């Protein structure tokens, strides 16, 4: 994040609201806190040990709000999977049981919970769950996103890119690639 400047791209927005989905241990949140000090940064992470480090790492930054949850296309329950034994490639799947590993929240839920009207920067690195996130109901939140930074994981979840591009292709945007991330500037 810091040495490769993975999230250092020109944002057309001053960054009042930043939503980090798949916040891991909080480094992207810290990067944005330095770049956009007045911004409110919501850092969403589902995995317990990553979330504990995120909370500890972000404690000095009063503008970073940690949320222990997974981002999904609806509020539901998820189970963690680790198919590769790599701690940074944790994946999730939806489960019907009320008691599960993690709570899943939708982007409309987060907008409402924090009373945001827009998201200036939406950072998504959710290890293949972008397939589910972008499959349904994106019209409820995508028109309120100014800049979207995403890492697509077709190698972890077949169809992730197709789901994503199908959802965003109804909007006018400009795209650039920065390291493993694709950055989209929307003209809403």
Tell whether the model's pLDDT for residue 22 goes beyond 80: yes
- Read off the pLDDT of residues 29-68 as tens digits, 9 standing for 90 and up: 999 999 899 999 999 999 889 999 999 999 999 999 999 9
Helix axes 48-58, 27-35, angle to 10 degrees: 30
Tell whether the model's pLDDT for residue 86 goes beyond 60: no
Pair of tokens at residue 82: 């680790």
What phi, psi does 53 have (nearest 5°)? -70, -40
The pTM assigned to this predicted structure is 0.88
How far apart (Å, rounded) are the C-alpha atoms in residues 188 and 185?
A: 9
Q: Residues 183, 175: contact at Cβ < 8 Å?
A: yes
Higher pLDDT, 80 or 121: 121
- Read off the pLDDT of residues 66-79 as tens digits, 9 standing for 90 and up: 999 999 999 988 87
Mean pLDDT of the chain: 88
Q: What's the Cα-to-Cα distance from 171 to each of 98, 138, 181, rounded to whole Å?
A: 36, 11, 19
Closest to 120 in 3D by CA, of 34, 54, 183: 183
Percent of the chain with pLDDT over 70: 84
Predicted confidence at residue 127, as pLDDT, reads 86
Q: What's the Cα-to-Cα distance from 182 to each of 44, 64, 79, 164, 188, rounded to whole Å?
A: 19, 23, 27, 11, 18
Q: Residues 45, 147: contact at Cβ < 8 Å?
A: no
Predicted confidence at residue 155, as pLDDT, reads 87
Predicted confidence at residue 8, as pLDDT, reads 67
Q: Residues 160, 56: contact at Cβ < 8 Å?
A: no
Tell whether the model's pLDDT for residue 87 goes beyond 60: no
Least trusted range by pLDDT, from 59-68, 80-89, 164-173: 80-89
């Amino acid at each position: 994040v810091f040495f490769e400047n993975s999230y250092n791209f020109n944002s057309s927005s001053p960054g009042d609201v930043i939503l980090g989905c798949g916040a891991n241990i909080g480094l992207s949140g810290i990067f944005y806190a330095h770049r956009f000090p007045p911004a409110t940064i919501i850092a969403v992470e589902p995995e317990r040990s990553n979330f504990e480090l995120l909370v500890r790492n972000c404690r000095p930054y009063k503008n970073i709000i940690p949320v222990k949850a997974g981002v999904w296309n609806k509020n539901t329950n998820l189970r963690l999977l680790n198919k590769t034994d790599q701690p940074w490639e944790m994946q999730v799947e939806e489960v019907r049981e009320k008691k599960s590993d993690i709570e899943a929240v939708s982007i409309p839920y987060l907008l409402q919970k924090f009373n945001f009207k827009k998201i200036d920067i939406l950072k998504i690195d959710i290890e293949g769950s972008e397939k589910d996130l972008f499959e349904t109901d994106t019209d409820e939140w995508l028109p309120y996103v100014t800049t979207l930074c995403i890492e697509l994981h077709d190698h972890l979840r077949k169809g992730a890119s197709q789901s994503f591009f199908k959802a965003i292709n109804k909007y006018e945007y400009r795209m650039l690639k920065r390291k493993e991330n694709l950055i989209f500037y929307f003209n809403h």
